[in-house]
Amino acid sequence: MKLKSMDISATASASSIVFDALRKAIVEGELAEGEPLRQDEIARLFNTSRIPVREAISRLEEQGLVKTQRYKGAIVAGLSPKETAEVFDLRALIEPEIMRDAVPRMSKDLLTQAREKCVAFASCTEPMAYGDLNRAFHETLYSASDLKFFQDVANNAIDRVERQIRAQLVMSNGMERAGREHFAILDACEKGDANLASELTRAHIEGAKESLLEHLKNV
């Protein structure tokens, strides 16, 4: 199992630490779809009991990142192309509204940070960093929104397809297109045009969906 060992035996929030570590490993693809999550092994890696591990796995199951199968126990969950499309359709409903709410609240400092992240994404040559930079750009813009429940739902939806997004950016040469679309969204934000930023965000998500589904057909 590709997890770094960690001694959390004396940590009060052991369950949260295990949850964060497992979630990161799943989202970034270090734990592959269908890989079993053996509680004893994970507990040993973190030098803790099975109780916080069981709690962490339960939280991951609630978020759809883990599922329990008969005779196999907890495994890393995957998505069918149909389920992937549904997740993107949900994102295309929620994230444009987050953006519409966020634009009037964006400060100059936040927009400066967003441009730095936009440039970093566009100039990145390290495939393993694409996913993190892509997410950092969007999350910076969304952070100005007051729609916190919407943001929680969007973050969970992104978690569900993060592995696929990372693969699509690398395998389908999606970086160039995504970079152009990021700059267009950012320009609209800097001009204070919430409606345009919202529509560009929707188009960006729908375009990524189409590209990803096409990529999945060829895998």
The mean per-residue pLDDT over the stretch 139-148 comes to 97
Q: Residue 34's pLDDT is what? A: 87
113 with 203, same domain? yes
121 with 151, same domain? yes
In a domain, 189, yes or no: yes
> Does residue 80 register a pLDDT over 60?
yes
Q: Which two tokens stand for residue 170?
A: 């690398």
112 with 138, same domain? yes
Please give the residue range of the domain that contains residue 35.
14-76
159 with 197, same domain? yes
* Euclidean distance between CA atoms 112 and 101, whole angstroms: 19
207 with 169, same domain? yes
Among the residue ranges 82-86, 108-112, 211-215, the one predicted with the least confidence is 211-215
61 with 95, same domain? no
- ∠ at Cα 37 (34, 39), nearest 5°? 165
101 with 122, same domain? yes
The mean per-residue pLDDT over the stretch 50-65 comes to 90
Whichever domain contains 49, its CATH number is: 1.10.10.10
> Does residue 145 register a pLDDT over 50?
yes
Element containing residue 69 per DSSP (H, E):
strand 66-69
Task: Count how many domains the chain has.
Answer: 2
> Does residue 92 register a pLDDT over 60?
yes
pLDDT tens string 172-202: 567 888 999 999 999 999 999 999 999 999 9
Give 68's strand partners: 74
Residues 6+ apart with CB under 8 A from 129: none
> Does residue 9 register a pLDDT over 60?
no
Give the C-alpha distances (Å, rounded to integers) separating 110 from 12, 61, 120, 138, 179: 34, 34, 15, 12, 19
- ∠ at Cα 171 (179, 177), nearest 5°? 20
pLDDT tens string 157-180: 998 888 877 777 766 567 888 999
Four-residue CA torsion sign, 66, 214, 212, 173: positive
The mean per-residue pLDDT over the stretch 89-109 comes to 98
Q: Residue 8's pLDDT is what? A: 52
The mean per-residue pLDDT over the stretch 60-86 comes to 87
Four-residue CA torsion sign, 48, 49, 51, 57: positive
> Does residue 10 register a pLDDT over 50?
no
Are 91 and 157 in contact by the 8 Å Cβ rule? The answer is yes
In a domain, 102, yes or no: yes
In a domain, 9, yes or no: no
45 with 117, same domain? no
The mean per-residue pLDDT over the stretch 71-93 comes to 90
In a domain, 4, yes or no: no
pTM of the model: 0.77
Using the 3D structure, point to which of 36, 51, 76 is the last residue of a domain. Answer: 76
Are 165 and 187 in contact by the 8 Å Cβ rule? The answer is no
Give the CA dihedral 159, 219, 79, 41, nearest 10 degrees: -70
**Percentage of the chain exceeding pLDDT 70:** 91
Are 189 and 98 in contact by the 8 Å Cβ rule? The answer is no
154 with 55, same domain? no
Q: Residue 2's pLDDT is what? A: 63
Element containing residue 30 per DSSP (H, E):
none
The mean per-residue pLDDT over the stretch 55-63 comes to 90
